[in-house]
Chain A
Amino acid sequence: EVVLTQSPVTLSLSPGERATLSCRASQSVSSYLAWYQQKPGQAPRLLIFDASKRATGIPPRFSGSGSGTDFTLIISTLEPEDFAVYYCQQRSNWPSTFGQGTRLEIK
């Protein structure tokens, strides 16, 4: 089973700043890496798939990059609604697995 390790666990930033979130896989997942956003009491929301493709309706301030074992989600300019927990997910190896999440909080 592929283990996804996200860092940092918590990221404290202010609106308007740039956020950089990391996801590292225990073995190569090619480009089959997705990012989800989850707000309290809500289900996850698909942001990015295949490492860099934005899902429908996702604003361009969200971007993803990486391949193999190292991936990054960047939020270029934080909006108040972006403060949430972010999860990565790989679908390269069965079963699909998720990272433990990065909590993006307001500083």
Chain B
Amino acid sequence: EVQLVESGGGLVQPGGSLRLSCVASGFTFSTYWMHWVRQTSGKGLVWVSRINSAGTGTTYADSVKGRFTISRDNAKNTLYLQMNSLRVEDTAVYYCARVLNASSWYDPTLFDLWGQGTLVTVSS
């Protein structure tokens, strides 16, 4: 079955860290750019970060730049999001998402496969 399964969310205090994981199955993970998108009830869906298929290129939203690090292990079919210096406003459901078309050089930034989401709560 083609799917993405996230894990790693939880409750953390402000200033703390968490690492999210997203395990892919049923498709050739190493040929797709991957993204993280978060969702809150207040701000809706917000793009967070992306990584190219090889794992050599990354981009971040200004709101998380310098605090979050996206990475991937293509041998393990796994995407990661290391989140440091967490803030209350980082509280959200975090989704990993696959782009529509496999490519080593082009990111369509359209998401045809999403994980089930993992909840991150930052609170004291």
Interface residues of A (CB under 8 A from B): 34, 36, 42-46, 49, 55-56, 87, 89, 91, 95-101
- A96 contacts B109, CB within 8 Å? yes
- A46 contacts B47, CB within 8 Å? no
- B44 contacts A100, CB within 8 Å? yes
- B44 contacts A43, CB within 8 Å? no
- 5 A-B residue pairs with CB within 8 Å: A46-B112, A49-B110, A89-B45, A97-B47, A99-B44
Nearest residue in A to B61 (C-beta to C-beta)? Answer: A95
Known: A96-B47, A98-B46. A44 touches B112 (CB 8 A): no
CA gap between A58 and B76 in the complex, in Å = 31
- B110 contacts A44, CB within 8 Å? no
- B109 contacts A56, CB within 8 Å? no
Contacts of A95 in B (CB 8 A): 47, 61
B 109-124 contacts with A by CB, 8 A: 109-112, 114-117
User: Per-residue 0/1 for B91-124: is the Cβ within 8 Å of any A Cβ (1 yes, 0 no)?
Assistant: 0000101001000000011111011110000000
CA gap between A42 and B115 in the complex, in Å = 9
Report B106 CB to chain A, min CB distance, Å.
12
Contacts of B114 in A (CB 8 A): 43-45
Known: A43-B95, A49-B100. A87 touches B44 (CB 8 A): yes
- A87 contacts B110, CB within 8 Å? no
